[in-house]
Homo-oligomer: A and B are copies of this chain.
Amino acid sequence: MPLFQVIAAKLRSQIAAGTYRPGTRLPSTRRLSAQLAVSLTTINRALRELESERLIVARERSAWTVEVSRPLARVGRPVPPEAPALVGTTGLIHDHLRTVLDPSLVPLGRAEPSADMLPTTELSFCLREILRREGEKSLRYEHPVGSRLLREELARLSISWGCVLEPDDFIITNGCSEAIHLALQVTTRPGDVVAVESPTFYGILQAVAGLGLRVIEIPSRPVSGLDLAILRRALQRHPIRAVLTVPSYNNPVGGCLSTQGRRELAALLAECDVPLIEDDLYGDLFHDGMRLPCVKSHDVGGRILLCGSISKTLAPGYRIGWLVAGRYRDAAQALKLRLSYSTATPLQHAVGLFLKNGDYDRHLRKVRPQYSRRMAQFTELVTEVFPPGIRIHPSRGGYLIWVEWSEGSSAMECYERALALRVSVAPGEIFTVHGRPTTAFRLHAGFPINPEIIRALKVLGECLR
Binding site for B on A (CB under 8 A): 90, 94, 97, 101, 112, 115-116, 118, 120, 123-124, 127-128, 131, 135-144, 174-175, 177-178, 181, 190, 203, 206-207, 209-210, 314-319, 334-335, 337-347
Which chain B positions have C-beta within 8 A of A206?
Answer: 334, 337-338
Which chain B positions have C-beta within 8 A of A210?
Answer: 335, 338-339
Least distance between A142 CB and chain B CB atoms (Å): 6
Which chain B positions have C-beta within 8 A of A340?
Answer: 174-175, 177-178, 181, 319, 340
Q: A340-B319, A340-B340, A341-B177 are in contact. Are A115 and B136 (CB under 8 A)?
A: yes
- The answer on a CB contact under 8 Å between B142 and A175 is no
Q: A127-B131, A175-B340 are in contact. Are A334 and B94 (CB under 8 A)?
A: yes
- The answer on a CB contact under 8 Å between A317 and B175 is no
CA distance A362 to B166 in the complex (A): 45
Which chain B positions have C-beta within 8 A of A341?
Answer: 175, 177, 203, 319
Which chain B positions have C-beta within 8 A of A178?
Answer: 339-340
Which chain B positions have C-beta within 8 A of A207?
Answer: 338
The 9 closest A-B pairs by CB, nearest first: A317-B345, A139-B315, A174-B340, A115-B136, A210-B338, A120-B136, A124-B131, A206-B338, A177-B341
CB < 8 Å: which of B138, B175, B347 contacts A346?
B347
Which chain B positions have C-beta within 8 A of A101?
Answer: 143
List 18 additional A-B contacts (Cβ < 8 Å) besides A127-B131, A174-B340: A94-B334, A97-B144, A115-B137, A118-B136, A123-B139, A138-B317, A174-B174, A174-B344, A175-B341, A177-B341, A181-B339, A206-B338, A207-B338, A210-B338, A318-B345, A319-B341, A340-B340, A344-B347
Q: A140-B316, A338-B177 are in contact. Are A120 and B94 (CB under 8 A)?
A: no
- The answer on a CB contact under 8 Å between A318 and B139 is yes
Least distance between A281 CB and chain B CB atoms (Å): 12
CA distance A112 to B345 in the complex (A): 14
A339: nearest chain-B partner, CB-CB: B181
Which chain B positions have C-beta within 8 A of A124?
Answer: 131, 135, 138-139
A310: nearest chain-B partner, CB-CB: B139
CA distance A190 to B185 in the complex (A): 14
- The answer on a CB contact under 8 Å between B339 and A318 is no
Which chain B positions have C-beta within 8 A of A115?
Answer: 136-137, 139-140
CA distance A457 to B40 in the complex (A): 79
CA distance A338 to B97 in the complex (A): 12
- The answer on a CB contact under 8 Å between B338 and A317 is no
CA distance A341 to B138 in the complex (A): 23
Which chain B positions have C-beta within 8 A of A94?
Answer: 334
CA distance A143 to B207 in the complex (A): 18
A145: nearest chain-B partner, CB-CB: B101
CA distance A170 to B320 in the complex (A): 23
Least distance between A98 CB and chain B CB atoms (Å): 10
